[in-house]
Amino acid sequence: MNGSRRFLASFLPAAALCAVVALAALLFADAYLAQVAFLTGITVILVLGESFAVGNMGQLLMCQAGFYGIGAYVSALLEMHGMPPYLAPAVGITCGAVSGLVVGLAATRIRGHYLAIVTLAIGVIVEELLNNLQGITNGPIGLVGVPTFFGPLNAGNQADYIVVVWGAVIVVLGCLALLRESRFGWFLRAIRDSEAAAESIGLRIGTYQVATVTVAAAVAGLAGALYTNYAGLLVPDLFSYGLSAQILATAVLGGINSFGGAVVSSLVFNGVPQMAQVTAFYQYLIFGVVLIVMMQFAPRGLSQIGVYAVSLARRRLLGWGAGQPNAATVRRP
């Protein structure tokens, strides 16, 4: 399978699912369900960035919420000081990417659980800065009255918000799928599988690690800029290190480096509980139980279940023994 076919195989199913979700939200959602659809789209973007980084780099990244907060706050502060809403998000994304570049450079020689601890600490630092830089971020009270794209969400503009966020999801999907199936993605997976072998052919491991963290940070910055221009209100608690853990767990449940799995897990474990108005306590309880069960029986996440279901369906359609050698057809040496 060549690169273009691999790209289409990874992009089209996930993009089609996103289009179906967006269309259903446009046709059937009231104001509350439109809000759920928008927030779920934000979650999908965050999980896609995490899945790309962890799946291709093979290292845990625990500061996505920090990058998310940087993109959100930068975009909000610029818009509150008069920058147009179509330009401020671009600056927020850039600042998120730059913060990822700094983190990547600082952690160039760190691997494994040490990298997870360092990135977790960085997420905590970002949250504390948002809480304590009161002259800039207004501290725990947060930012109120941030300009939004289309004004407060209502029946008149909910379609606009849904189109913007799910359009962004599809664009992010396309960009990450292109990166994954490019030489950059192949080199990343070579480093993930064997750093010694990658170094022996001249690959600069630190450079690729920094680039991967930068991409994931830019994606999180985009999510933050979109959220800012929807909510009009920011508080530091929205970007806690607990959110980073939830993003990572959702990516793992979907299947690391599976874009379709990232979309499905975000819908199942974030969108559906909000639609059913499940309280946070029961939502996290169910999430934890499902995570434990999945790690025992399907450690590669929902993508593993999907591959098994497709394989089983093919066997039923073609016949249980179709395509398999038997004693009558195997030639003896």
The dihedral of CA 157, 161, 167, 170: what is its sign?
Answer: negative
**Contacts (Cβ under 8 Å, ≥6 apart) of 206:** 108, 109
Neighbouring-strand partners of residue 144: 233
In contact, 26 and 260? CB cutoff 8 Å:
no
In 103-234, DSSP assigns E strands to 143-144, 233-234
CA separation for the pair 319, 208 (Å, rounded): 45
CA separation for the pair 50, 116 (Å, rounded): 13
CATH: 3.10.20, 1.10.3470, 3.40.50, 3.30.110. Which one for 3-275? 1.10.3470
How many CA atoms, within 13 angstroms, populate the side-chain half-sphere of residue 232? Answer: 8
Q: By C-alpha distance, which of 181, 171, 172 is closest to 10?
A: 181
pLDDT the model gives residue 327: 43
In contact, 269 and 250? CB cutoff 8 Å:
yes
Distance of CA 280 to the CA centre of its chain: 21
DSSP string, 159-186: HHHHHHHHHHHHHHHHHHHHHHTSHHHH
**Contacts (Cβ under 8 Å, ≥6 apart) of 269:** 250, 253, 287, 290
Neighbouring-strand partners of residue 196: none
Name the pTM for this structure: 0.88
pLDDT the model gives residue 167: 95
pLDDT tens-digit readout, 144-189: 888 888 777 665 688 888 999 999 999 999 999 999 989 998 888 8
Exposed, middle or buried by CB within 10 Å (0-12, 13-18, 19+), for 154?
exposed
pLDDT the model gives residue 66: 94
pLDDT below 70 — which residues of the chain?
1-3, 153-156, 276, 278-280, 304, 306-308, 310, 319-333
